[in-house]
Amino acid sequence: MKSSSRSLSLLVLGAALMGGCEAEQTTTPTSETPVLPTDDLRTIDSRSTISCFTSGMEPAVLSLINQRRATGAVCGGVAKLPVPPLTLNSQLGCTALAHARDMAANSFLGYNSLNGATPLRRITAYGYTPLSYAEENVAAGYSTPEAVVEAWMANAHDCNNIMNPAHIHVGIGHATVQGSTFSYWAQDFGRP
């Protein structure tokens, strides 16, 4: 499958496929395992639990995007000044991971889940309430944090999402197709 990258600007970004993250946390990832609701996941038993930071790649992606934010970037030919670093947020992390896993399980790349869940629905299900708006980047086919960040920075819209000074939080999700190294990524940004 060809590697691709897309992003979506929204007035508010969306609700979670899997619930249970606690009230807003903006510290380092934890080992908490939220319970998945039954209404949004067709293929996962409602008694299952997951960690919202599972791949080990989230800190590397965060470091890479914060390096880009610290030095500035050119997004679609427009220079972007340096901006403050982002902080991992567990609610956005749960949202991003749920969406990455959904895309991997169902072999699609997009913002809306095949069951109709929008980014807004996913993000608000985790209790994250953006002050004004939030945004999402998705990608497929990149097996390393370096490769996916490079792809996002090469896409004007994704780059603008990463360099947006209004964002203070990010959630990063990574999932692979079972039995392969093909990866799906989701990155959700916001400001409460």
Q: Which domains does the chain have, with CATH numbers?
A: 72-190 (3.40.33.10)
Helices (H), the chain: 58-71, 90-106, 119-125, 145-154, 156-163
Quote the pTM value.
Answer: 0.73
Residues ≥6 apart with Cβ < 8 Å to 27: 87, 88
Q: 33-67, pLDDT tens digit by residue? A: 333 332 333 222 232 344 575 668 899 999 999 99
Cβ–Cβ contacts within 10 Å for residue 79, how many?
9
Residues ≥6 apart with Cβ < 8 Å to 80: 72, 73, 74, 159, 160, 163
Q: 65-87, pLDDT tens digit by residue? A: 999 999 999 999 999 999 999 99
